[in-house]
Amino acid sequence: MNNSLPLVSIISINYNQSQITLEFLDSIFNITYPFFEVIIVDNGSPSDNPDILKQKFPQINLIKSEKNLGFAGGNNLGIQAAKGKYLLFINNDTEVEPDFLEPLVKTISQDATIGMVSPKIKFYFSNDKNTIQYAGAVGINPYTGRGSKIGSFATDQGQYDDIRETALGHGATMMVPMKIIKEVGLMPDIFFLYYEEHDWCEHIKRSGYKVYYVGTSTVYHKESMSVGKNSPLKMYYMTRGRLLFTRRNTHGLKKISALLFFTIFSLPKNKLKLLLHGEFRLLLAFLSAFFWHLTHFKVNKNPRLNDNNEIINSYTHSKIRFAK
């Protein structure tokens, strides 16, 4: 190992997907960057034995949560155990190019004002794995609560092989310096699933840092392997997260506009659409997410690490076990 290079802590979440996580680990342990540690957080998997991960890859740090803390809460457990200067949060349903890590480390280490970087992300199950999912983002419209990604579904012809500032990173793969995490706080675990990375990006930017897209690094994403592409779980947390993001990141007329847009346009439109298609489970999930906001008023707390490296101000809590 070249100890002059910064240590990177690679953190990923497993939830009932040990086989998928094994494929991810196969990919990770073939990278060319020499100085990294791998932390896998099992998020209280009820019907999966994550011990196989440690058996086949004994060099990993396997953390077992007693319950499912969601994407943010699980990653926050990984942060507690991380020793790296830079922390890479990457989905277990991804595979990587062998040289994907070097451009991310180089970009983030050359500019102290960069608080997060994300690579080019392609759909794993596309033709020749050459369809882009993410090449940067234009941000979330504060009046409507809707956002969009750059390059989504385009064929990769090298047109996004640049490195540039962007509005939002991508939750499937994002690198953040430990120094900045200790300064601005952990992932916002109130979200549980979806929108937490967008909220975290906004928090990092409000603290004076920039988010960068690194098109010279490539990751392949097996989209929605964990929750299903059209599941009630995804519907619930996507809807809940969209409104929660608006409540936490907009103010004044922008917040009023975004909430009215959802209530007047999105709510009746989605109700009608789901009713007409007979998607009653999705409709129930959609309405449940909306009504959650009518009973939860204090939503602006952010988890942090205290001087003892313990998580405080968390909406979730779990005892953790470290696999031997």
Task: Summarize pLDDT for 85-127 with one digit per residue, the tens.
Answer: 999 999 999 999 999 999 999 999 999 999 999 999 999 987 7
Which range is least confidently modeled, 55-64, 279-288, 313-322? 313-322
- Confidence label for 229 from pLDDT (cuts 50, 70 and 90): low
Work out the average pLDDT over 284-297.
92
Work out the average pLDDT over 243-262.
87
| Reduced 3-state DSSP string for 92-121 | CCEEECCCCHHHHHHHHHCCCCEEEEEEEE
User: Which CATH architecture is the domain 8-226+308-322 placed in?
Assistant: Alpha-Beta Complex (3.90)
Distances in Å between the Cα of 41 and the Cα atoms of 25, 71, 110, 321 are 13, 10, 30, 10
Distance CA 84, CA 6 (A): 7
pLDDT at 187 over 60: yes
pLDDT at 128 over 90: no
Q: How many CB atoms lie within 10 A of CB 315?
A: 18
- Percentage of the chain with pLDDT > 90? 73
Distances in Å between the Cα of 117 and the Cα atoms of 23, 57, 308 are 24, 27, 27
- Confidence label for 322 from pLDDT (cuts 50, 70 and 90): very low
Work out the average pLDDT over 140-164.
88
Look-up: residue for tokens 């086989």? 19
pLDDT at 320 over 50: no
Contact 293, 247 (CB under 8 A): yes
pLDDT at 1 over 50: no
Work out the average pLDDT over 133-138.
95
Q: How many CB atoms lie within 10 A of CB 297?
A: 8
pLDDT in tens, 273-286: 999 989 999 999 99
- Res 307: pLDDT: 84
- Res 224: pLDDT: 58
Output b/e per residue, 119-153; b: 16+ Cβ within 10 A. Answer: bbbbbbebeeeebbbbbbbebbebbbbebebbbee
Distance CA 175, CA 86 (A): 7
- Res 171: pLDDT: 94
Work out the average pLDDT over 156-161.
96
**H-assigned helices in 136-279:** 178-184, 196-206, 232-249, 252-261, 267-276
Q: What is the pTM of this model?
A: 0.90
- Res 213: pLDDT: 98
Q: Which residues pair with 163 in a beta bridge?
A: 214
Which range is least confidently modeled, 156-165, 235-244, 250-259? 250-259
- Res 324: pLDDT: 42
Work out the average pLDDT over 7-11.
98
Q: Which two tokens stand for residue 279?
A: 């998607």
Average pLDDT, the chain: 91
Q: How many CB atoms lie within 10 A of CB 319?
A: 8
Distance CA 171, CA 12 (A): 11
CA angle 299, 300, 302 (to 5 degrees): 115
Work out the average pLDDT over 48-71.
94
Which range is least confidently modeled, 34-38, 134-138, 213-217, 226-230? 226-230
Distance CA 131, CA 223 (A): 12
Type and span of the H or E element at 39: strand 36-42
Contact 261, 145 (CB under 8 A): yes
Q: How many CB atoms lie within 10 A of CB 47?
A: 5
